[in-house]
Amino acid sequence: MAELWGPDWGLRYGVAPLQIGRRPPRSRSAAPDRPGLRSGCVLSSGASIRKVVLGQVCEICVAEIKDRLVVLSGAGISAESGIKTFRDSDGLWEGHNVNDVATPEAWRRNPGLVLDFYNERRRVILAAEPNEAHKALGDLEETYDVSIVTQNIDDLHERAGSSNVLHLHGEILFARSSIDPDLIYPLSDWAMRMGDLCELGGQLRPHIVWFGEDVPMMDRAIEIVRQADILVVIGTSLAVYPAASLIDFARPHVPIYVVDPGTPALTPRDNVHFIKMNAVKGVLELKHRLEDFRQFGN
Query: What do you get for the CA distance between the two ends of the chain, in Å?
Result: 64
Q: Which of 157, 169, 207, 273 is catalytic?
A: 169
Nearest to 213 by CA among 186, 178, 185: 178
Say whether 167 is catalytic.
no
Give the CA count within 13 Å in the CB-facing half-sphere of 188.
8
Question: At what angle are helices 279-296 and 132-139 packed, to 10 degrees?
Answer: 20
Residues with catalytic function = 169
